[in-house]
Amino acid sequence: MQIGGVETAIFKSYFELNKSVDYQVYTLIGRSSFEIQTKSLWSFLKSLIFNKPDLVITSLWASHPLGWLCKIIGIKWVPFFHNASFSHFKDKIGLLITSWLTDTYLADSESTAKFMVRNRDKLVYVVPYIFNNNRQVDYLLKDIDFIWIGRNNIQKRIDLLEKFILESLLFFENIKVKVLIGGDRHESIEKLVDFNEKLDLEIIYNSSNQEVLNLLDRSKVYLLFSDYEGMSMTTIEAIQSLCFPVVRPVGEISFYLNHSNAIFINNLETFQELFVGIQEILDNDKLRLLTCEKNKETINMKEGYIESMLRAIENLV
């Protein structure tokens, strides 16, 4: 089972939520690598028959048909949506059917909520991937120029990462890049590891959340090329780790960031103009630190995942 922001949020919130509610986690495919007790699909089906939970929350497109089953047998069900737009065809079909069958949603961001509701009369509870932390980051130890984190799929636009790295070699003298990929190996990116002596590139597969945080703490610039994010957990954690965001202006990102505290990737044909702005940020440590600290403060002032989830559950049950 691949571990992304959705699964990490479940792990990070599990024990806190269970202090207030009886909150159980079921996985559809195999066993997860969470350090929590998860249960199988068959256990879930048995619980529907014998225990009849007060509320079932389905997350990610493959689980939503189980929500349809809950609705048929009279169990309260709420889907949790995570994309600010349809990312691929199976998402579109599954989420369209799901949206017709329920009047209540959970959404990972305001932009996801607006996309899913649009002109329909729906009730939406926003549960953002924010876990407020006061973790101290030593800015002097930031030795990684760029970090990219994501699953090996078309949604994350890893093709643009490859383009970015190749074009950057024509602009920067020397660069250090960490690429964290969830899932299968990516041969095209791997070919760049020894491509040029100016490039210090390391590719790491299926990192733990703690490994991700450690590398974010050491990184100066966080890259996001995805067209489909609401406000991803990785983006939030990057901001909390005082990384300067170089991102696509999609979803919730434009609610938190603007041209004064981030660099937006607008031109996908060439990154040369983008590199000029990045170089200015890399050369001005004081400005970058002040900007990153303000970004972190803005994020941490928002209501977090646990508080939002508990409020939603209390209102729904």
Q: pLDDT band for position 283 (50/70/90)?
A: very high
Mean pLDDT of 237-265: 89
Mean pLDDT of 111-137: 79
pLDDT of residue 162: 92
**93's tokens:** 């079909």
The answer to whether the beta carbons of residues 243 and 221 sit under 8 Å apart is yes
**298's tokens:** 């803005």
Q: Is 268 helix (H, G, I), strand (E, B) or coil?
A: coil
pLDDT in tens, 132-188: 777 789 888 999 999 999 888 777 888 999 999 999 999 998 999 999 988 788 888
139-300: CATH topology: Rossmann fold (3.40.50)
The answer to whether the beta carbons of residues 270 and 171 sit under 8 Å apart is no
Are both 5-130+303-316 and 139-300 of the same fold?
yes
pLDDT of residue 120: 63
pLDDT of residue 155: 78
pLDDT in tens, 55-70: 999 887 778 888 888 9
Query: In this model, does residue 38 exceed pLDDT 70?
Result: no
pLDDT of residue 240: 93
pLDDT of residue 51: 83
Q: pLDDT band for position 1 (50/70/90)?
A: very low
Which residues are registered as beta bridge partners of 175? 199
Map out the domains of the chain as residue ranges.
Answer: 5-130+303-316, 139-300
Long-range contacts of 114-118 (CB under 8 A, 24+ apart): 115/83, 115/84, 115/85, 116/81
Mean pLDDT of 75-87: 78
Query: In this model, does residue 119 exceed pLDDT 60?
Result: no
Mean pLDDT of 1-29: 79
Query: In this model, does residue 75 exceed pLDDT 80?
Result: yes
Q: pLDDT band for position 118 (50/70/90)?
A: low
Q: pLDDT band for position 112 (50/70/90)?
A: confident
d(CA 273, CA 116): 34
Mean pLDDT lowest for which of 117-121, 237-241, 293-297, 305-309? 117-121
Query: In this model, does residue 6 exceed pLDDT 90?
Result: no
Mean pLDDT of 179-198: 88
Name the range with the highest mean pLDDT among 101-105, 132-136, 273-277: 273-277
pLDDT of residue 66: 87
Mean pLDDT lowest for which of 16-25, 37-46, 233-242, 279-288? 37-46
Mean pLDDT of 197-208: 91
Q: pLDDT band for position 31 (50/70/90)?
A: very low
- In CATH terms, 5-130+303-316 corresponds, of 1.10.800.10, 3.40.50.2000, 3.40.1160.10, 3.40.50.2300, to 3.40.50.2000
pLDDT in tens, 247-260: 998 777 877 888 88
- Beta-carbon contacts of residue 125 (< 8 Å; ≥ 6 apart): 104, 105, 106, 107, 308, 311, 312, 315, 316
Mean pLDDT of 108-122: 74
Mean pLDDT lowest for which of 94-98, 138-142, 281-285? 94-98
